[in-house]
Amino acid sequence: MAKRRANGEGSIRKRSVLHMLQRVLKRAGLERIRFHDLRHTFSVLALQNGVDVKTLSSMLGHYSAGFTLDTYAHVTTSMQKQAANAVGSFLSGTLQP
């Protein structure tokens, strides 16, 4: 699948992008990784660091924020638990005499 460059001229082949990725990883002394895994890692880190789901969904090209939430539910569930623990700690500290 070819993609248009930002200036609208020419195209970049998927194989070329993947080849460049593998060269960069090799030069950095890192293991081979699939491009999709980088996308997933980016998404998880973005959510964990406060990027809102609507913005992330748009960045990933998802058709809806709901799809993004469904795809990364494991991350948001973990974040909900952390938030509940943080609020619980805060409340228990303020309610004790």
- Do the beta carbons of residue 3 and residue 11 sit within 8 Å? yes
Q: Which residues of 45-62 are buried (b: 16+ CB within 10 A; e: fewer)?
A: ebbeeeeebeebbeebeb
Burial of 88 (0-12, 13-18, 19+ CB in 10 A): exposed
Q: What is the pLDDT along the chain (97 residues), one digit of tens a residue?
A: 444 555 556 677 878 888 898 999 999 998 888 888 888 889 989 988 889 999 999 999 999 999 998 888 787 777 778 888 888 887 887 655 5
Amino acid at 6: A
The pLDDT value recorded for residue 91 is 82
pLDDT at 33: 87
Return the pLDDT at 97. 53
